[in-house]
Amino acid sequence: MSRGYTLRFPQGFLWGTASAAHQNEGDNVNNQWYRWEQQGHILSGDQSGNAADWWHRAEKDFEWAEQMENNALRLSLEWSRIEPTEGKWDSSAVERYRHMLIDLRKRHITPVVTLHHFTDPLWFVERGGFADQENIAFFVRYVEYVVAALHDVCTFWVTINEPNVYALQGYLFGAFPPGQRDLKKALLVLRNMMQAHVEAFYAMRNIQPEALIGYCLHYRLVDPANSLSFVDRGVASVQETLFNWAPLQAGETGRFTFPTGPLLAPIPRASGARDYHGINYYTRDMVRFDPQSAIEVFGKRFTRQKATRNDPGLDNSFGEIYPEGIYRVLKEVYRRTRGNKPLYITENGFSDVLDDRRPRAILEHLVMVLRAIHSGVPVRGYFHWTLVDSFEWNNGWYVRFGLIDLDPLTQMRSPRRSASMFGEICRANAITESIVERYVPELLESVFGARGRELRV
Ligand code: BGC
């Protein structure tokens, strides 16, 4: 029987889901991912096709978000729709987005708009994309165009989603387009994207002084397989620094942690160029020293054997479900940035087609978010990845992250249990004992304590 214990989130906390244009809209034929799919690079052989058909029916899915009493929703704009050829703008695309944003606002859902989420127009790619510093100006011009057109319906912006994933997956591991394996180029792309964010930030600030502007990084923790081993600890720390902390520091100071080669050139005006820190957190890896893994700086990553796992995906990239990681990341970002800005969880999610681990995973991660808040970290919102199943990049339709199940052929939706649980949490702005009891009873004691007295956060 419920005793009515409750773990409350701060007033005004933002609750929502996150998504990206190419994964949801369908028929985005003018970007490098579409071409990559046509060339047969998706591991499952899938193509994005109609995706979740958001170009025509995003508003139908916003109804679900409204039912869950989400007060925010993060989506992205597709640059290749807005500027399909260099310098030629398609105002009807902007109008379509305006319609979506107005629809959200009518539902009392604050739109959070990402300007770049992995996809580039083909003409930009032909010019060398972010590997060429001179091309940053094209991105800034696009951003200015969009913000000038939509500033009356959106104030919360994400310039670039995960420059670290885009650069490393595309230019070092070769898993994303353009499929290259070139460390120097990967670092150059990362550096240029960070600069693109900084320049976009000031351009946007000029047009819309009241805007909230930031970018998000993907944070993937790396722990040593043997914590007593000097070399395991060493490679874990180098990998974690390269992927997580060097880009964060570059955003903060304009200088990279390992200033070599392309990272030597500092990024002017970087410090202060954000209003919040966007945090995307999914998992952690264990790592063991391995002289064969030169491309991964001599560390072989793997998932802990006893771990509760995500569905792994065809590339085995979705490993452990590790709730404490979100707490560790929040604390570390807060520490490294000296608490200078509020934090938003701009993404956190689980690939779990059966939805038999997701409810527990959501609850455990949220408890960890609260723990961070109670310890003084100013976390202001949580965006679950994602509302409806969407085209999962190089894994195609093979893995499912949605609160709502989608059959991409029939476009049929069926909400998973997680959706109703998430809705109850958002509505209550709290984790209540009754929610835990009904969805994940085995967590009652660990969340609320044996007699419910001490809150275990
Ligand atoms: C990306 C999303 C992606 C998710 C799950 C994040 O890194 O921003 O686009 O769907 O991971 O793989």
- Could you tell me if residue 236 is inside a domain? no
Kindly tell me if the per-residue pLDDT of 323 is higher than 80: yes
**2-6, 172-176, 215-219 — which is least confidently predicted?**
2-6
Residue with CA nearest ligand 1 atom 7: 218
- d(CA 424, CA 395) in angstroms, rounded, equals 31
What average pLDDT does range 250-267 have in this prediction? 82
Q: Percent of the chain beyond pLDDT 90? A: 93
How close is the Cα of 15 to the center of ligand 1, in Å?
18
Both tokens assigned to 29: 């034929």
Output b/e per residue, 278-296; b: 16+ Cβ within 10 A. bbbbbbbbbbbbbeebeeb
Q: What is the pLDDT of residues 326-360, one digit of tens each?
A: 999 999 999 999 998 999 999 999 999 999 999 99
Three-class DSSP labels, 185-250: HHHHHHHHHHHHHHHHHHHHHHHCCCCEEEEEEEEEEEEECCCCCHHHHHHHHHHHHHHHHHHHHH
Where does the pLDDT of residue 1 fall: very low under 50, low under 70, confident under 90, or very high at 90 and above?
A: low
Residue 453 scores a pLDDT above 70: no
- How much distance in Å is there from the Cα of 161 to the middle of ligand 1? 9
Q: Which residues in 90-175 belong to E strands, given as ranges?
A: 110-116, 156-161
Sign of CA dihedral 387, 165, 372, 439: positive
**SS3 assignment, position 80:** helix
What tokens were used for 438?
A: 């009904």
Q: Which two tokens stand for residue 74?
A: 């993060």
User: Does pLDDT of 174 surpass 60?
Assistant: yes
Residue nearest to atom 10 of ligand 1 (CA): 392
Asked if residue 423 belongs to a domain, the reply is: no
pTM: 0.97
Q: Is residue 77 part of a domain?
A: yes
Give the model's confidence band at 451: pLDDT under 50 very low, under 70 low, under 90 confident, else very high.
low
Q: What is the mean pLDDT of the chain?
A: 96
- For the Cβ of 19 lying below 6 angstroms from any atom of ligand 1, the answer is no
Assigned token pair, 375: 């310890």
At 95, which CATH number? Answer: 3.20.20.80
Does the residue 454 lie in any domain? no
Question: What's the pLDDT at 295?
Answer: 84
3 in any annotated domain: no
Q: Is the CB of 165 under 6 A from ligand 1?
A: yes
Does the pLDDT value for residue 322 go beyond 90?
A: yes
Task: Indicate whether 10 pLDDT > 90.
Answer: yes
Q: What local confidence, expressed as pLDDT, does residue 378 receive?
A: 98
Q: 131 lies in which domain range?
A: 13-217+244-284+305-414
Compute the CA torsion angle 164, 169, 170, 172 (nearest 10 deg): 90
| Residue 239 alpha carbon to ligand 1 centre in Å | 19
Tokens of 161: 């989603």
Asked whether the predicted pLDDT for residue 454 surpasses 50, the reply is no
Report how many domains make up the chain: 1
Residue 439 region by backbone torsions, left for phi larger than 0, else alpha for psi between -120 and 50, else beta: alpha
Q: Annotate 418-451 with DSSP letters as a single string.
A: HHHHHHHHHHHTEEEHHHHHHH-GGGHHHHH-TT
Close Cβ partners of 109 (under 8 Å, ≥ 6 residues apart):
16, 62, 65, 66, 70, 71, 72, 73
| Cβ 352 under 6 angstroms from ligand 1 | no
Which atom of ligand 1 is found nearest the CA of 216?
A: 8
Burial of 132 (0-12, 13-18, 19+ CB in 10 A): middle
Is residue 163, in this structure, part of any structural domain at all? yes
Instruction: Identify which of 303, 411, 406, 403 has the alpha carbon closest to the alpha carbon of residue 351.
Output: 403
Task: Inform me whether the pLDDT recorded for 415 exceeds 90.
Answer: yes
Pocket flag, ligand 1, residue 185 (CB < 6 Å)? no
Residue 261's pLDDT is 74
CA distance 227 to 310: 24
Higher pLDDT, 83 or 259: 83
Q: What is the pLDDT of residues 32-81, one digit of tens each?
A: 999 999 999 999 999 999 999 999 999 999 999 999 999 999 999 999 99
Please tell me the distance between residue 309's alpha carbon and the centre of ligand 1 in angstroms: 17
Average pLDDT over residues 388-392: 98
Structural domain includes residue 420: no
Q: Report pLDDT for 198.
A: 98
Residues 6+ apart with CB under 8 A from 112: 14, 16, 18, 72, 73, 74, 75, 156, 157, 158, 346, 383
389 within some domain: yes
Mean predicted confidence (pLDDT) in 429-451: 92
